[in-house]
Amino acid sequence: MDLLQTTVLMAVIGVSPASGWFFGRANTASADDKPVDPDCEAHGEAGRCEFYQCFEERFPCGKDGYMAKFGTPFCARFERVYGAFTPKGQEFVNGTARCLTRGLLQYYKQDKVDCHRLSHDAFDLVSSCYASNGFCDVAEENAAVFTDVFQPKYLFKSGALKIWKEIMELMYHCNPDKVHNLATTVVKMVSGFVNFLTSSGSR
For every residue of 19-77, DSSP letters joined together read SHHHH-S--EEE-TTPPPPHHHHHHHHHT-THHHHHHHHHS---TTSHIIIIIHHHHHH
Q: What is the pTM of this model?
A: 0.76
Q: What is the DSSP letter of 33?
A: T
Interval 146-195: pLDDT, tens? 888 877 665 555 555 677 677 777 777 777 766 676 667 666 666 665 56
Q: What is the DSSP letter of 49?
A: T
Give the pairing of strands 112-114 and 28-30: antiparallel
Q: Tell me the CA end-to-end span of the chain in Å, nearest whole number.
A: 19
Interval 51-102: pLDDT, tens? 999 999 999 999 989 999 899 999 999 999 999 999 999 999 999 999 999 9
What's the pLDDT score for residue 125? 92
Of how many residues is the chain composed? 203
